[in-house]
Chain A
Amino acid sequence: MALDSQTVYRIARLARIDIVDSEVKRYASELSSILEFVEQMNKVNTEHIAPLSHPQDRTLRLREDTVSEGNLREKLQAGAPAAENGLYLVPKVIE
Chain B
Amino acid sequence: MHSKTIKQLSADLHRGSFSSVELTQCYLDRIDRNQKLNAFITVDPEVSLTQARAADELLKKSDGTLLTGIPLAHKDIFCTEGMLTTCGSKMLHNFIAPYSATLIENCQQAGMVCLGKTNMDEFAMGSSNETSYYGPVKNPWNEKMVPGGSSGGSAAAVSARLAPAGTGTDTGGSIRQPAALCGITGLKPTYGRVSRYGMVAFASSLDQAGTLTQTAEDAALLMNVIAGFDTKDSTSVDEPVPDYLHGLSNDLDGLRVGLPKQFFDDGLHSDVAKIVAEALKLFEKQGATLIDIDLPNSDLCVPCYYVIAPSEASSNLSRFDGVRYGHRSESYQDLVDMYMKTRAEGFGVEVKRRIMIGTYALSAGYYDAYYLKAQKLRRLITQDFDQAFEQVDVIMGPTTPTPAFELGAKTEDPIAMYLNDIYTISVNLSGLPGISIPAGFAQGLPVGLQIIGPYFTEGKLLNIAHRFQMETDWHKKIPRGFD
Q: Which residues of A contact B (CB under 8 A)?
A: 3, 8, 11-19, 27, 30-31, 33-35, 37-44, 46, 49-56, 58, 60-61, 63, 72, 75-82, 88, 90-93
**20 residue pairs bridging A and B, Cβ less than 8 Å apart:** A3-B360, A17-B340, A17-B347, A18-B343, A31-B357, A31-B360, A38-B304, A49-B380, A50-B376, A51-B376, A52-B375, A55-B191, A55-B382, A55-B428, A55-B429, A79-B95, A81-B325, A81-B326, A90-B323, A93-B335
Decide if B363 is an interface residue (CB 8 Å cutoff).
yes
Decide if B338 is an interface residue (CB 8 Å cutoff).
yes
Cβ-defined partner of B373 (8 Å) among A37, A42, A63: A42
* Residues of the A chain whose Cβ atoms lie less than 8 Å from the Cβ of B337: 18, 91
The reply to whether B347 and A63 form a contact with Cβ atoms under 8 Å apart is no
Residues of chain B from 359 to 383 with CB closer than 8 A to chain A in the complex: 359-360, 363, 370, 372-380, 382
The A interface is mostly helix, strand or loop, or mixed, namely loop
Decide if B328 is an interface residue (CB 8 Å cutoff).
yes
Beyond the given A19-B344, A49-B377, could you list 13 further A-B residue pairs with CB under 8 A, ordered by the A residue number? A14-B359, A15-B352, A16-B340, A18-B341, A31-B357, A34-B415, A37-B418, A40-B300, A46-B376, A54-B205, A55-B432, A79-B94, A80-B323
Query: Measured between alpha carbons, how far is A13 from B428 in the docked complex, in Å?
Result: 31
Between B206, B314, B321, B339, the greatest number of chain A beta carbons within 10 A of the residue's beta carbon is seen for: B339
Measured CB to CB, the nearest residue on chain B to A83 is: B324
Q: Which residues of B contact A (CB under 8 A)?
A: 94-96, 98, 191-192, 205-206, 231, 234-235, 237-238, 297, 299-300, 302-304, 306-307, 314, 318, 321-328, 332-341, 343-344, 347, 352-353, 355-357, 359-360, 363, 370, 372-380, 382, 414-415, 418, 428-432, 455
Measured CB to CB, the nearest residue on chain B to A15 is: B359
* Residues of the B chain whose Cβ atoms lie less than 8 Å from the Cβ of A78: 96, 98
* Residues of the A chain whose Cβ atoms lie less than 8 Å from the Cβ of B235: 54, 58, 60
Measured CB to CB, the nearest residue on chain B to A3 is: B360
* Residues of the B chain whose Cβ atoms lie less than 8 Å from the Cβ of A16: 318, 321, 336, 339-340, 343
Cβ-defined partner of A43 (8 Å) among B300, B321, B370: B300
Instruction: Using A11-B356, A53-B375 as known contacts, say yes or no to A40 and B363 having CB atoms under 8 A apart.
Output: no
Query: Measured between alpha carbons, how far is A55 from B306 in the docked complex, in Å?
Result: 16
Instruction: Using A14-B363, A18-B340, A34-B306 as known contacts, say yes or no to A52 and B324 having CB atoms under 8 A apart.
Output: no
Q: A36 CB to closest chain B CB, in angstroms?
A: 9
The reply to whether A31 and B356 form a contact with Cβ atoms under 8 Å apart is yes
* Residues of the A chain whose Cβ atoms lie less than 8 Å from the Cβ of B347: 17
Query: Measured between alpha carbons, how far is A13 from B359 in the docked complex, in Å?
Result: 10
Query: Measured between alpha carbons, how far is A45 from B252 in the docked complex, in Å?
Result: 40
Instruction: Using A18-B343, A55-B431 as known contacts, say yes or no to A41 and B373 having CB atoms under 8 A apart.
Output: yes
* Residues of the B chain whose Cβ atoms lie less than 8 Å from the Cβ of A76: 98, 324
Instruction: Using A12-B356, A17-B343, A81-B328 as known contacts, say yes or no to A91 and B338 having CB atoms under 8 A apart.
Output: yes
Cβ-defined partner of A30 (8 Å) among B321, B322, B353, B430: B353
The reply to whether A52 and B378 form a contact with Cβ atoms under 8 Å apart is yes
The reply to whether A37 and B380 form a contact with Cβ atoms under 8 Å apart is no
Cβ-defined partner of B380 (8 Å) among A18, A27, A46: A46
Query: Measured between alpha carbons, how far is A80 from B235 in the docked complex, in Å?
Result: 28
The reply to whether A37 and B355 form a contact with Cβ atoms under 8 Å apart is no
Query: Measured between alpha carbons, how far is A35 from B339 in the docked complex, in Å?
Result: 26
Cβ-defined partner of B356 (8 Å) among A27, A49, A56, A79: A27
The reply to whether B377 and A44 form a contact with Cβ atoms under 8 Å apart is yes
Query: Measured between alpha carbons, how far is A17 from B325 in the docked complex, in Å?
Result: 17
Instruction: Using A34-B414, A44-B377 as known contacts, say yes or no to A81 and B323 having CB atoms under 8 A apart.
Output: yes
The reply to whether B237 and A58 form a contact with Cβ atoms under 8 Å apart is yes
Cβ-defined partner of B307 (8 Å) among A14, A41, A88: A41
The reply to whether B98 and A56 form a contact with Cβ atoms under 8 Å apart is no
Instruction: Using A11-B356, A34-B414, A55-B205 as known contacts, say yes or no to A17 and B344 having CB atoms under 8 A apart.
Output: yes
Cβ-defined partner of A37 (8 Å) among B192, B306, B336, B431: B306
Measured CB to CB, the nearest residue on chain B to A93 is: B335
Q: A62 CB to closest chain B CB, in angstroms?
A: 8
The reply to whether B191 and A81 form a contact with Cβ atoms under 8 Å apart is no
The reply to whether A38 and B328 form a contact with Cβ atoms under 8 Å apart is no
The reply to whether B377 and A41 form a contact with Cβ atoms under 8 Å apart is yes
* Residues of the A chain whose Cβ atoms lie less than 8 Å from the Cβ of B96: 78-79
The reply to whether A82 and B328 form a contact with Cβ atoms under 8 Å apart is yes
Cβ-defined partner of B231 (8 Å) among A63, A72, A88: A63
Measured CB to CB, the nearest residue on chain A to B297 is: A44
* Residues of the A chain whose Cβ atoms lie less than 8 Å from the Cβ of B237: 56, 58
The reply to whether B359 and A11 form a contact with Cβ atoms under 8 Å apart is yes
The reply to whether A37 and B363 form a contact with Cβ atoms under 8 Å apart is no
Instruction: Using A12-B356, A16-B336 as known contacts, say yes or no to A88 and B306 having CB atoms under 8 A apart.
Output: no
Q: B268 CB to closest chain A CB, in angstroms?
A: 20
Q: A83 CB to closest chain B CB, in angstroms?
A: 9
The reply to whether A81 and B322 form a contact with Cβ atoms under 8 Å apart is yes
Q: B354 CB to closest chain A CB, in angstroms?
A: 9
Q: B355 CB to closest chain A CB, in angstroms?
A: 5
Query: Measured between alpha carbons, how far is A55 from B297 in the docked complex, in Å?
Result: 16
Query: Measured between alpha carbons, how far is A41 from B164 in the docked complex, in Å?
Result: 42
Instruction: Using A11-B363, A15-B359 as known contacts, say yes or no to A56 and B94 having CB atoms under 8 A apart.
Output: no
* Residues of the B chain whose Cβ atoms lie less than 8 Å from the Cβ of A61: 234, 238
Query: Measured between alpha carbons, how far is A15 from B328 in the docked complex, in Å?
Result: 16
Measured CB to CB, the nearest residue on chain B to A88 is: B323
